[in-house]
Amino acid sequence: MTMKFCHLYQTLTGLTVAFLLLNSLLTLPALAGRYVLNQTPQTIERYFGRYSTKKTNGAQVTYTYAPKSFRRLFPQFPKSNFSISFIKNQAKFITLNFNGDFFQYPGSYNYDKAEATKFYNYIFGYQPPIWQELSTKFSGNETIYFYEYCLGDGVATSFDRYGYKQFTDSATLSYNNRCEPPYNFNQD
């Protein structure tokens, strides 16, 4: 009887380890990170700490966060922060704000793939799977351009560049169904 129990125990243990190993190999990258979009302010507070300011505009409530760990991502912008806008108590937009340092803006700096990757990684806890342009438009004034890129797993980043140095004072992460796998960049 003891021999059968030991054999059964070893078999179950082996199957459990195999299941866990297989499951970890098949887990999508998004599942390894932090859920932020569509989460409540209470969940967001567990991730990033207490907000520093709160602004209400109708149904939209925006909380601003400025943890020290975040400010180290963009040392050239020591006053940088990020805000999360909630609609019906769910996070919908995450905005990176450089505007507090706008007049000291480094001439060689521009928000692009490297900065978007740092921001995405900080917010969601893993590297974005792709970088694919969704749209580029100019406003009619040749110094103002609007960009939107897909970062994958349902998240897009949008930002403006303006002025002769093409400054970006903020960028937003939000849900975009074209950024869900399998990616279909031909839709509008």
Residue 135: which of 182, 96, 187, 177 has the closest Cα?
187
Distances (CA, A) of 160 to 25, 38, 51, 66, 139: 38, 24, 25, 22, 10
Single pTM value for the model: 0.77
Amino acid at 160: D
The per-residue pLDDT for 75 is: 82
Q: Which token pair is 100?
A: 């507090």
> Would you list the domain boundaries of the chain?
1-32, 33-179
* Beta carbons of 64 and 79 less than 8 angstroms apart: no
Tens of pLDDT, residue by residue, the chain (188 residues): 555 655 555 654 554 444 433 333 333 333 447 899 999 999 999 999 999 999 999 999 999 998 888 888 888 888 889 999 999 999 999 999 887 665 666 666 678 999 999 999 999 999 999 999 999 998 767 678 899 999 999 999 999 887 777 778 789 999 999 999 887 666 54
